């Protein structure tokens, strides 16, 4: 199915890990045992999840810096996971255009979160990209 399916699957795995406070390799292995992916989807999921886990403090710090008036723990867990994946792509994946990462995050939020989430996610990611571009 491709990268869109892999992104959604990464969000689901990250959500499961977040809800259960279990970011272990066992959770990742179990996820792959219970779901079917082609090679490129599996590579994307593994790459995204391991990179997000390894850089969680930095990724969450970037989210915190762009959610004025909100606390990280108050965000909907689905929205948090979507933001983590988008920021991972923007920072660590030069092969994915920033616009694509933002658009895909918005589309995933429309599918899995509330009606207002897509606007919120667009605003957070837009702020992140603007501040990042200003710093470069």
Give long-range contacts, CB 8 A cutoff, 24+ apart: 97-102. 98/129, 101/125, 102/126, 102/129
From first to last of the 136 residues of the chain, give the pLDDT tens digit.
Answer: 689 999 999 999 999 999 999 999 999 999 999 999 999 999 999 999 999 999 999 999 999 999 988 888 899 999 999 999 999 999 999 999 999 999 999 999 999 999 899 999 999 999 999 988 776 6
Q: Is residue 2 within 8 Å of residue 100, measured between CB atoms?
A: no
Q: How far apart are CA 68 and CA 90, in angstroms?
A: 20
Closest-CA residue to 6 (of 119, 104, 92, 109): 104
Domain ranges of the chain: 3-135
Give the single-character DSSP code of 96: S
**Residue 68: per-residue pLDDT:** 82
Q: How far apart are CA 25 and CA 20, in angstroms?
A: 13
**Residue 1: per-residue pLDDT:** 64
The answer to pTM > 0.85 is yes
Residue range 3-135, CATH number: 1.10.940.10
Q: Is residue 47 within 8 Å of residue 6, measured between CB atoms?
A: no
**Residue 70: per-residue pLDDT:** 85
Q: How far apart are CA 35 and CA 91, in angstroms?
A: 27
What are the angstrom distances between the C-alpha of 69 and each of 4, 15, 75, 124? 31, 23, 11, 12
């Amino acid at each position: 199915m491709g990268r869109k399916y892999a992104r959604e699957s990464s969000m689901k795995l990250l959500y499961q890990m977040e809800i259960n406070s279990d970011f272990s390799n066992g959770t990742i292995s179990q996820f792959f045992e219970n779901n079917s992916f082609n090679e490129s989807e599996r590579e994307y999921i593994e790459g995204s999840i391991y990179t997000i886990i390894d850089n969680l403090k930095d990724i969450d710090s970037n989210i915190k810096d762009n959610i004025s008036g909100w606390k990280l723990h108050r965000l909907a867990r689905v929205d948090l996971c979507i933001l983590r994946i988008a920021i991972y792509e923007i920072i660590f994946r030069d092969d994915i255009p920033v616009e694509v990462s933002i658009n895909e995050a918005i589309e995933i939020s429309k599918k899995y979160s509330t009606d207002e989430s897509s606007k919120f996610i667009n605003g957070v990611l837009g702020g992140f990209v603007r501040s990042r571009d200003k710093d470069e």
